[in-house]
A and B are shown apart, each in its own frame.
Chain A
Amino acid sequence: SYELTQPLSVSVALGQTAIIPCEGDYIRSKNVHWYQQKPGQAPVLVIYRDSIRPSAFPERFSGSNSGNTATLTISRAQAGDEADYYCQVWDSTTVVFGGGTKLTVL
């Protein structure tokens, strides 16, 4: 079965750039989607089809997908960006989520 690997945690200084990777075999051949989840809340879609950003999210959020790694990049990180972030793909007939990355803004 297909697997997605994310680091458990990523830290970023306030105002700097956070990079959250999502690794999977030949992931570049798949559409990768990202979700933000804050404590006690439902997940929210933050990037879809690798790099498309819903209008509710600012341009500071961007995505890319190349080789075996998809990446969520958060520029000029703010305290309000602290959350868990999950990548997700569709593989054959199965939805696969990464294990999630906790972003801490220092």
Chain B
Amino acid sequence: GESVGLHLPTLSVQEGDNSIINCAYSNSASDYFIWYKQESGKGPQFIIDIRSNMDKRQGQRVTVLLNKTVKHLSLQIAATQPGDSAVYFCAETPSGNTPLVFGKGTRLSVIA
């Protein structure tokens, strides 16, 4: 399949450890945030979202943290597995009819 993210920042994590992927966003008006996972040869896959009236949201093995003061978003993955290896993108939008704007992405590499 095609290779995604040839020159992206890379985070290498041992299997079983927790991963933290960070994202800085620029638009202070952004109201809705999403993390996407993209495996090689596939389209971005929705992981978890959060709105600006929250600072934390948990899913299955994933947690998203939002710090609006410093315009920072993070994705925490618990007990990282080889299947978590992918490129992760944050995306943001103000509420309303404004499409998502994607960040640059981080490659997560899980070492078995």
Do these two chains interact?
no
